[in-house]
Amino acid sequence: MDFSDRIQRVEPSATLAISSLASELKADGADVIDLSVGEPDFPTPANVVEACETAMEDGHTGYPSSKGVPELREAIAEKLQGDGLPYEADNVIVTPGAKQALYETVQTVVDDGDEVVLLDPAWVSYEAMVKLAGGDLNRVDLAPHDFKLEPALDDLAEAVSDDTELLVVNSPSNPTGAVYSDAALEGVRDLAVEHDITVISDEIYERITYGAEFTSLGTLDGMFERTITVNGFSKAYSMTGWRLGYLAAPEEFVSEAAKLHSHSVSAATNFVQHAGLEALANTEDDVNEMVEAFHERRDRLVALLKQHDVDAGTPDGAFYLMIPVGEAQRASDASGEQSDPRADDQQWCEDALEQAHVATVPGSAFGAPGYARISYAASLDRIEEAVERLVESDLL
């Protein structure tokens, strides 16, 4: 069979691949602690499940209108207005997961050879989406700046130009957990306006912050008209398997993206959208409880790592952190030759899975060789045990 060049440009999602590997090991009877995939370990709030059942019983089982159930588009617009973004329902497309919203956005904006700027480390699927669209990646590395954006603004200024078509910003960040400061976002704004760049603001971890103030990029002067705001239900409401997300953007963008939406997924699942309405309206306490639990886990994990001399910083959001791995190998070895840091972090993650039965994701998958991403969406007991096992296996 002859496969398209397009599909051969990309690899399967590393995050999903590792979590499948962990599941296979589990199925073989191994007690694997899965700190790989970014998936809240809480059940979806019961009232959301009930709303879905009711929607099915009420017959919301046919094709919904392509861009989304009107009540949900309205509720999403209201939520965004509450955040200071003056979107109306017509600015919203409801998608099967935020991933589809991002995919549609990239396909709508990026032509062959267009430049797309990513802030590394960046979530695995941005790169693949850009490659599928034929875009050229230009990556700005935040690793030398402790994953902060503000000190990297000069590097960003050097990277972007009038040729830059699209910039992707993800705060709170997957995989670093960084929440970008207002000063950093203002710096992004200045560059986006100067060079007329369209910006994706991926806000899927917006609700999951620990004391840091989250700012939505589209609220900054000059940004609303050039921002595609992407969000979803997976993380805040623990609804990963429901596949529900959305994008909000100027209407001219929405009518273009809606073409791809209607020809690919048709619509997000009808009764799931009705459950989404309940999630937006009546889950405040559940979300707060989950965020409190993540906060406690972050504190515990950071403290445990410190005890073993691993400085992972104290990320202010999401449920990830990056740990440096394989430093010994990263430094020049005795022969003076530099080993490949990419091999280091992949090797470390393989060893962690095989020897300690702890699943993590190599930083290379996010453009951050020499690091491993830990997702702390697991119970305190499991987090503690994971660290113990890594220490016992001499991996920390």
Q: State the binding partner of 291 from ligand PMP, ligand GLU, none, CB within 5 to 8 A by kind.
A: none
Phi, psi of 93 (to 5 degrees): -120, 125
- Chain residue whose CB lies nearest ligand GLU: 38
Extract the runs of DSSP E, i.e. beta strands, from the chain: 33-34, 92-95, 115-120, 136-141, 164-170, 198-202, 227-232, 245-248, 320-324, 358-359, 361-362, 371-375
Told to check if 38 binds ligand PMP by CB under 6 A, we report yes
Cβ nearer to ligand GLU, comparing 34 with 344 = 34
Among 97, 121, 324, 367, binds ligand PMP (CB under 6 A): 97
- Chain residue whose CB lies nearest ligand PMP: 97
List residues bridging with 140 in a β-sheet: 119
Residues 6+ apart with CB under 8 A from 252: none
DSSP readout, 320-381?
A: EEEEE--HHHHS--TTSPPP-HHHHHHHHHHHHHHHH-EE-EEGGGGT-TTEEEEE--S-HH
Told to check if 234 binds ligand PMP by CB under 6 A, we report yes
Cβ nearer to ligand GLU, comparing 174 with 198 = 174
Q: State the binding partner of 98 from ligand PMP, ligand GLU, none, CB within 5 to 8 A by kind.
A: ligand PMP
Of 176, 13, 190, 170, whose CA–CA distance to 102 is shortest?
170
Told to check if 123 binds ligand PMP by CB under 6 A, we report yes
Told to check if 367 binds ligand PMP by CB under 6 A, we report no
Long-range own/partner contacts, residues 62-67 (CB < 8 A, 24 or more apart): 62/270, 63/266, 63/267, 63/270, 64/267, 64/268, 64/270, 64/273, 65/267, 66/258, 66/261, 66/262, 66/266, 66/267, 67/92, 67/93, 67/94, 67/254, 67/258, 67/261, 67/267
Site for ligand GLU in 4-33 (CB under 6 A): 13, 15-16
Cβ nearer to ligand GLU, comparing 99 with 274 = 99
Q: State the binding partner of 232 from ligand PMP, ligand GLU, none, CB within 5 to 8 A by kind.
A: ligand PMP
**Candidates 22-30, 92-100, 141-149, 354-362 — which segment interacts with ligand PMP by CB under 6 A?**
92-100
Can you read off the two tokens belonging to residue 378?
Answer: 């697991």
Among 22, 32, 33, 37, binds ligand GLU (CB under 6 A): 37
List residues bridging with 164 in a β-sheet: 115
Q: Cβ of residue 170: shortest distance to ligand PMP, in angstroms? A: 5
Cβ nearer to ligand GLU, comparing 100 with 164 = 100
Place of tokens 């059942």: 53
Site for ligand GLU in 137-176 (CB under 6 A): 174
Q: State the binding partner of 363 from ligand PMP, ligand GLU, none, CB within 5 to 8 A by kind.
A: none
Q: Cβ of residue 173: shortest distance to ligand GLU, in angstroms? A: 11
Instruction: Tell me the per-residue interface mask from 92 to 121 with ligand GLU, x by CB under 6 A, - otherwise.
Output: -------x----------------------
User: 137: exposed, middle or buried (C-beta count within 10 Å: 0-12, 13-18, 19+)?
Assistant: middle
Told to check if 98 binds ligand PMP by CB under 6 A, we report yes
Told to check if 38 binds ligand GLU by CB under 6 A, we report yes
Among 127, 186, 202, 278, binds ligand PMP (CB under 6 A): 202
DSSP state at residue 125: H
Q: State the binding partner of 314 from ligand PMP, ligand GLU, none, CB within 5 to 8 A by kind.
A: none
Sheet holding 371-375, edge to edge: 320-324, 371-375, 361-362
Can you read off the two tokens belonging to residue 270?
Answer: 């009808």
Among 80, 94, 124, 387, binds ligand GLU (CB under 6 A): 124
Told to check if 276 binds ligand GLU by CB under 6 A, we report no
Told to check if 242 binds ligand PMP by CB under 6 A, we report no
Told to check if 268 binds ligand PMP by CB under 6 A, we report no
Cβ nearer to ligand PMP, comparing 164 with 174 = 174
Of 194, 249, 193, whose CA–CA distance to 223 is shortest?
193
Cis, bond preceding 96 (omega within 30 deg of 0): no
Q: Which residues bind ligand GLU (CB under 6 A)?
A: 13, 15-16, 37-38, 99, 123-125, 174
